[in-house]
Amino acid sequence: MLIRRIGIVIAALFLLQSTLLAVYQYKGDFTEDGKLNITDVIKFLLIGRDNPEDERLDFNHDGEKNVSDVISLLLYISTNLSLEPVELTVKIIFLHHSTGNNIWNGGVPKWFEQFNAENSTNCLISERSFPSGSLYPWNNYPYDYWNIWVNHAGNELYMQEPTLEILTRQYAVIIFKHCFPVSNILADTGNPDISSSAKRIENYKLQYEALKTKIREYPQNKFIVWTGAALVIDGTNQANAERAKTFFNWVREEWDEKGDNVFLWDFYQLETEGDLCLKTEYAVSSTDSHPNTSFSSMVAPLFCRRIVDVIKGLGDDRPITGEPE
């Protein structure tokens, strides 16, 4: 009788393709793709195989994680095809330094407070300096993310900085960026070195590819990467600025791929509007490449909308600047 019921449930799941709002958690939607089908049952079983201590496995809330939870899941779906939404707490961490701090202070916390109030959601966004500069140097370039998250991956802090193993357990969405010196890119040597901190496209590409491979080890998490902060014209030179544009074009057009858990926010485009450098009217001054207050207030809502698009599962479909279509 149970086998027959399971068969009926599986058939029903194949037919049920309703799109759900991803800022909510729906019972039975273990793939968190906004749909219910057989893959949710499979995902539940895979979670049990790979992480038997995962609290989601106690589906029937009896304090035990065993076969009765699988049966409860199947019975629940078979008798509750009108899905029951439960408010989901989405924890978001924004890793940044001073440029990111300016955008944050442009209105990010207030925007999410209003969004949660208007939509009955619980998107909790927090920020931190990363790296903190305590033991690890105050550098957040491709080399540094590679060094902390790939080269020194593991369940222990590296020089007091959290690895992805640590961050992914704490946050569903992880956002990271680089300071504007990332755009001061030197000419390639023809000898790329993933372990080099030299700011060259040849090194950046190796580090970015390794980071993407590492990030994809955590498909249950979503990552948002800022395209690099630009420099004002007096803070760089033509050749370095052109190389920066070349690299961030590569990030947009080749490195970023649809269908995975990595998404972009195109900060570089917003700052440059297609030119090589940070527009002077958007900078603190002609010699200071930090975004000014008015620009920060203008793009902070775009940053927030981009985050929400990614949470909703629309990251591959909506503009990567966060601007309206």
Residue with token string 């309703």: 18
pLDDT at 92 over 70: yes
List pLDDT tens digits, range 109-159.
999 999 999 988 899 999 999 999 999 999 999 999 999 999 999 999 999
Average pLDDT score, the chain = 88
Instruction: Please check the confidence at residue 27 and state whether its pLDDT lies above 80.
Output: no
Burial class of residue 15 in the structure, from the number of CB atoms within 10 Å of its CB (0-12 exposed, 13-18 middle, 19+ buried) = exposed
316 touches 123 (CB < 8 A): no
Every domain of the chain and the residues it spans: 2-86, 89-311
Q: What angle do CA 177, 317, 39 make, to 5 degrees?
A: 100
Q: What is the pLDDT of residues 214-236, one digit of tens each?
A: 999 999 999 999 999 999 999 99
Q: Is the pLDDT of residue 75 over 80?
A: no
User: What is the Cα 66 distance to its own chain's centre?
Assistant: 32
DSSP 304: H
Output the six-digit token pair for 305.
């909308």
Section 237-242 average pLDDT = 98
Return the pLDDT at 211. Answer: 98
pLDDT of residue 87: 58
| Superfamily covering domain 89-311 | SGNH hydrolase (3.40.50.1110)
